[in-house]
Amino acid sequence: MKVVLLAGGFGTRLSEETKSIPKPMVKIGDMPIIWHIMKTYSHYGYNDFVVCLGYKGYALKEWFSNYFVHTSDITIDLSNNQLEVHNNRSEPWRVTLVETGLHTMTGGRIKRVQKYIGNEPFMLTYGDGVSDVNIAELVKQHNGSNKLLTVTAYKPQGKFGSLEIADDGNVTAFTEKPAGDGMWINAGFFVCQPEVFDFIKEGDQTIFERNPLETIASQGLMNSFKHRGFWKPMDTLRDNTELNEMWEKGKAPWKTWNE
């Protein structure tokens, strides 16, 4: 089963980093966040990726084309134009990088890579969020659901501490980052049947999270995989800082693989 990664957005809320690179190339530790996401799938045996490019897509093409150069020690002999790679870190990945348009919306990007998927089920996620989601259990549940699409659902914490205040103004309780409003949100990590492509009908301007997903859900064709572990998108500089701190301290919950 192939894995489609949405990696074409502008990343405007992380503009401090994305002026020169696309958001999936922003690093956690020494590696881009898209590498972390791919390692999660690879840990479960899924190694065939289709990456939807858009904003500064050449940066992703350059990085994957020169993966050994970026991740290994090298010796360059300028006298004969020879390059020797030492202790190379290889991955069992096949990566198809597809130009899906600078201003194309998420649904349009997915539709543009249909020819690389064919008439087969596929997985799909965003190129800017990490999780310890159990991909094997996600696929197993989807296969048993008889639905067109399974979405990973997650209950996020609130962003701010909450106060309980009595009528006289006294604070009776304080909770740092309590549970949010109790609603499950779309955390990506989809499993899709190929018929999902049929619901993308508005060309490049199709927003996948609008009409396609709304229609699939209204027709009773969508399943959910409730994830209660770790999930975090990298939307802001603060998110990037927090993820890097977790990685540097060796406390990154999404790192389910062994080096």
Give pLDDT, residue 206. 97
Amino acid symbol at 204: D
Question: Which tens digit of pLDDT belongs to each residue from 43-68?
Answer: 999 999 999 999 999 999 999 999 98
pLDDT tens column, 23-47: 999 999 999 999 999 999 999 999 9
Q: State the DSSP H helix or E strand holding residue 106, giving kind and residue range, or none if neither.
A: helix 106-112
CA distances from 233 to 13, 38, 78, 163, 237 (A): 12, 15, 43, 26, 11
Measure the CA–CA gap between 108 and 87, rounded to whole angstroms: 40
Residue 6 pLDDT greater than 80, yes or no: yes
Read off the pLDDT of residues 67-98 as tens digits, 9 standing for 90 and up: 988 888 989 999 999 989 888 778 999 999 99
Question: So where are the chain's domains?
Answer: 2-155+183-248
Tell me the pTM: 0.90
Strand boundaries in 8-72, DSSP class E: 27-28, 31-32, 48-53
Which residue in this structure is represented by tokens 């094997």? 136
Fold (topology level) of 2-155+183-248: Spore Coat Polysaccharide Biosynthesis Protein SpsA; Chain A (3.90.550)
